[in-house]
Structure 1
Amino acid sequence: MTKQRILVVDDDKDDQSFLLEAINELYPSFVCDLADNGRDALEYIDKNPPPPDYIFLDLNMPLVNGYEFLKEYKKQPESNKSKIIVYSTSSHPQDKAATKDLGATDYITKLSDFRKLKQTLEQVFKNYGGLSLA
């Protein structure tokens, strides 16, 4: 399986752990890194080229939120190489539309059901990376 680089950007440690556990169960070869906010994510990406294959991005974070991250990240020359998946508690259509306009690839509402989260992630990686578990 292809080794993919994932960056999870979320200030909630429980949400980080939940998402990482699901990704690691599905794709143990993926390399996952964490950032607690958009500012830390931008610094990480700047210091660790090339950009990650996937960025899972929360919207509501301190310092630099998800919207601000999207605005700044799309200014970077290789930003189009990352699939940005917004991973938020918000299910508002205006949030989905606004993040898409700012360059997000997809939008997932945070799930508390681990099995459903794994199914959703499997679909994301299949849709955008051509990856499947079979």
Structure 2
Amino acid sequence: IGGADPAINPVVRAGIVAPTLQVITEAEITSAEDRRRLPIWGEFYNPYDAPHLCFTTVWREDFVELVLVVCRSARQGTIDTPGRTAFAAIAHHCRDAAMTAHAIGRDGALVLAGAFQALSACALAVDRYGRIVALSP
């Protein structure tokens, strides 16, 4: 359905060009018509009740990106200002964890897993092949 294709998915397109740590919501980059027309909403976001997204790229290097995303239900609606502020703060901590993990190198996933333990939220990190490399308790 083109979920990872920037030519099809406006969320991916916006994430690729946005500066690191710029918080974006899908409401800022998609219209109601986009959400009705695009397969990613019709076949994924809506059926799984996650049509409202808030995201930021916390780290980017070469062809690798670490993106933090909050998916909200239709009932929850788009993220409010206090939620967005909290999300931005969490993103900064995730960036610090990612930079530490990157600096450590091959033990990075273990360090990232340790950093995730400090979060009171469900968090996971996947490698470029979609394999989970770290998961919060």
TM-score tier by shorter-chain length is under 0.3
Higher relative contact order (Cα pairs below 8 Å, separated by 6+ residues): 1
Give the structure with higher Rg (CA). 2
